[in-house]
Structure 1
Amino acid sequence: MKICGPKCSLCCTLLSAWGIVQLGIMAVLFWVKSPAFIEDLSIPEEAHHNAGEFVDALDRSYKTIAQNCGIAAGMYVITLIISGWQVMVNKRS
């Protein structure tokens, strides 16, 4: 069953592969709490007044974003499978 053309399916395959690599690396870096991503964290304003609350909010934010990146990378895996299947369908026809 053909869903998209050869150029579209190839483009989606390449973008999916890149998305898996990029989001996989970002998930690992957030998981190990890389300080390079500290500006991307969402920390509530009231957590800035207490050091213990700030560290807890920091850890929760790192963990949440790492999980979100992992989920997004998994969604790219699904997109890669579908677009790779479409590349094969277009090669046969």
Structure 2
Amino acid sequence: MGFTICGPKLSLCGLVLSVWGIIQLTLMGVFYYIGAVALLEDLPVEEGAHSSIDHFMAEVENGYNQNAFNCWIAALLYVITLVISGHQFWMNNRSSVSM
């Protein structure tokens, strides 16, 4: 039971982009989780609204953790896209072989 939603080229493109997205976002999530200094500029920290260094450090730590979880959630969404694209690629190849 299954039907094709997209063609073979689009499903192959979805497979390639999904694999790349999973790798990239998983690695970015790991780097955010370990607190890579190179990613500090991408944190949602307000400038000039810090009363103490402890408050600033807590906000930076919270930003790193939130961005790491956001990257991992996006990677999981790419896993779903990978499964759908893989299914479509299989369905298109199966239907072209049976003709």
TM-score class, shorter: over 0.9
Q: Tell me the number of residue pairs that the alignment of Structure 1 and Structure 2 aligns.
A: 92
Matches within 5 A, 1:4-83: 4-45=6-47, 46-47=49-50, 49-83=51-85
More helix by share: 1
User: CA RMSD of the aligned region, Å?
Assistant: 0.7
Give me the identity figure in percent.
46
- Superimposed CA distance per residue, residues 51-71 of structure 1 (whole angstroms, 9 cap, x where no aligned partner): 011000000000000000000
Which letter does structure 2 place at the counterpart of 1:66? A
Which letter does structure 1 place at the counterpart of 2:23? V
What's the TM-score once normalised by structure 1's chain length?
A: 0.96
**Pair 1:86-2:80 in alignment:** no
Partners of 1:12 and 1:80 in 2: CA distance: 7
User: Unmatched 5+ residue regions in structure 2?
Assistant: none
User: Unmatched 5+ residue regions in structure 1?
Assistant: none
Structure 1 runs, 4 residues or longer, greater than 2 Å off: none
Deviation at 1:44, TM superposition (A): 2.0
SS class of match (1:91): helix
- Superimposed CA distance per residue, residues 26-59 of structure 1 (whole angstroms, 9 cap, x where no aligned partner): 0000000000101101112312x41011000000
